[in-house]
Amino acid sequence: MKTMNFSELREAVHVIRSAADDLTNNQPEEVINKLFGLVKREIVSPEIYNVIGRAYMQKTNPRQAMFFYKKGLLLNSKKAYLHFNLAQAYEMALNFEDAIKEYEKAYKTGDKSVLEKLVFICEDLQDYEKAQHYSLVQDGLVEL
């Protein structure tokens, strides 16, 4: 990944904001087209890959979303939102084992809100022991 100069950074911020508006307006193709323009010029960041992943999730294409979330994590593995979004993609693809692993990583990188998600997934999988453990973590009685 090349280092962005100020002009490229300003452009990237503008394109990401515009792409986020397109996502809000349910236009995932617009998002993908705008952000691929940056990626082709090697202007990349975890945030760019995250927004592309969200666009693919909006198109209900979790496999493509996973690809871009993972690319973002290669740039910065400490981004809790990327782990969370990757977990959601795994969940959409019915890969609950990997979803749980990514939700745990999201928790460990700062997203404490995922514990409720972990409880629900484990209950759905009828793994009540694990669900209880996550519930105890949520209550601050044990550590993950």
**CATH classification of the domain holding 18:** 1.25.40
64: domain range?
6-79
| 22 in any annotated domain | yes
Question: How large is the angle between the packed helices 46-58 and 62-75, nearest 10 degrees?
Answer: 170
| 105 in any annotated domain | no
| 121 in any annotated domain | no
Q: Indicate the pTM of the whole model.
A: 0.89
| 125 in any annotated domain | no
| 130 in any annotated domain | no
Domain count, the chain: 1
| 69 in any annotated domain | yes
Rounded distance between C-alpha atoms, residue 70 and residue 49, angstroms: 8
| Best-predicted range by mean pLDDT (4-13, 17-26, 62-71) | 62-71
Residue 6's pLDDT is what? Answer: 82
